[in-house]
Amino acid sequence: MIPRAISIFKQSIQDYHQFDNVYALIQNPYSQGSIEALLYHKNWIDTVQWHLEDIIRDPNIEPLVALKIKRRIDASNQERTDMVEYLDSYFLDLYKDVKTNEDTSLNTETPAWALDRLSILELKIYHMEQEVLRTDVDTTHIQKCREKLNTLLQQEIDLSVAIEQLLNDIAVGRKQMKMYKQMKMYNDPNLNPVLYASR
C-alpha cells in the first residue's frame, strides 16, 4: 500500500505545481470515498499549507494579509487533522475483525498519522529536488541540498518500511489499532478562553 500512497502524494504535489497557486481548486482524480481519493486530498491540503507557510514568512507582507493567511493556516491545520482522523476511521474499519489480547502492544502513532508524516516528507523531497535543480545559486548550495535530499530519500525508505510493518502488525493482531481524537482546543469557541470571553 505504501508505494501506492507515495505515488498518489507525488501526483498531488505535481498537480498542485501546475498552478502553483494557493487558491487553485483541487481536482481529485480518484473516486469519491476511496482510499486513493483520501490520500490525494490529504496531500493537497498539506501542499497548499506548505505554500501558505512560505507566503506568511515574507518579511514584506502586509500585516492584514499576514493575518488573513494565518487564519487560513489555522483552518488548514484543522482540516488536516480532520482528514487524518477520517483516514484512521478507514483503517479502524479495515481491521475491525482482527483479534487482539491483553499482550497486544500499542504503537506511538496511528497509521494515518504515520501517513501524514510521509505526506510531508514527500513535500520536503519535492522542494529539495527543486533546490538541487536551481541555476541561480552556487555549487556549495547545490551540494548541501543534494546531501539533504539523499537524507530525505533514505528517510522515505525507512518510513515506508516502518509504516508497512505497522500495518502488517495490526493486520495480524501483533499491534492494536487505537485512535484518539486530537481534540484541538484553539479553534473551538467553547474551549478557547479568548474566544468564549469575547462573546
pLDDT in tens, 93-139: 999 999 998 889 999 999 999 999 999 999 999 999 999 999 999 99
- 198 falls in which pLDDT band (50, 70, 90)? confident
pLDDT of residue 184 exceeding 80: no
105 secondary structure, DSSP code: B
Closest to 47 (Cα-Cα) out of 13, 86, 82: 13
Tell me phi and psi for residue 105, to 5 degrees: -85, 160
End-to-end CA distance of the chain: 47
Helix (H, G, I), strand (E, B) or coil at 175: strand
Q: Note the pLDDT of residue 111.
A: 97
Q: Note the pLDDT of residue 154.
A: 98
Closest to 131 (Cα-Cα) out of 110, 152, 102: 152
Mean pLDDT for the chain overall: 94
- What is the share, in percent, of the chain residues with pLDDT greater than 90? 86
Angle at 35 between CA 32 and CA 40, to 5 degrees: 75
* Greater model confidence, 184 or 128: 128
User: Among 116-125, 150-159, 169-178, 188-197, which is the least confidently predicted range?
Assistant: 188-197
CA atoms of 107 and 85, how far apart (whole Å) = 16
| Residue with cell string 490529504 | 42
Look at the pTM and tell me if it is higher than 0.85: yes
Segment 73-86 mean pLDDT: 95
Residues with Cβ within 8 Å of 17's Cβ and at least 6 positions away in sequence, in order, are 126
pLDDT of residue 183 exceeding 80: no
